[in-house]
Amino acid sequence: MSAENGKTGSPDTPAGPRPEPLRFYGTTWVHHDNGYTARRIGLAVGSLAAAAAACFVLRIAYQGLQIADIGSFVSLLMIVMFAICSALAFRHTWSAFGTRPDPDRQSSLRGLLAIGFVGSLLAYFFRTLTEAPGEKLHRAEYEKAREEYEKRTTRRSGNPSKKRRRR
């Protein structure tokens, strides 16, 4: 519980930049509190279970193609397509945790990422084993913003009318 500051009746909140919330984590990534570890464990298990379920659904789709007897070329093409799209989606998702993705490129890759969703789920799983996905990027941006804020506020501290004039 935060204390009230007495002047305005509003809770004390630190001045300056605020951390950007992460999906599923909110701002718990800043101090690793309020169930951060439990969320990481739960999301790791959930993303791995979702990837396993997705592979099961893809297997059923592949068996449907075999039953339809459409030929080995189309079956091979489907396997190669999902493998390549999953690998590209894994790489793209993994790199998006370290740098902000370009919005135009992100929208142009939307179809590929939808087809390779298994790769995205696996990238999320592996990143969740070490940190909240995107935590490193957000922490660096937040710390940089805090440093810049501290520089600005310390430079402006004091009453400028009380400064001595140079002669």
What tens-digit pLDDT sequence spans the chain (167 residues)? 444 444 554 455 667 888 888 888 888 888 888 889 999 999 999 999 999 999 999 999 989 988 998 888 988 999 999 999 999 999 999 999 989 888 898 899 899 999 999 999 999 999 999 999 989 999 999 999 999 888 887 765 566 666 666 66
Which residues sit opposite 26 in a β-bridge?
22
Taking the whole predicted model, whether its pTM rises above 0.95 is answered as: no
- Say what the pLDDT of residue 1 is: 47
- Say what the pLDDT of residue 154 is: 75
Sign, CA torsion 99/103/105/109: positive
- Say what the pLDDT of residue 163 is: 65
Q: Which are the contacts of 30, defined by CB distance < 8 A and separation ≥ 6?
A: 19, 139, 142
Answer for the pair 152, 128: CB distance below 8 angstroms, yes or no: no
CA–CA separation, 91 vs 126, rounded Å? 12
Q: Quick one: how many helices (H) and strands (E) in the chain?
A: 6, 0
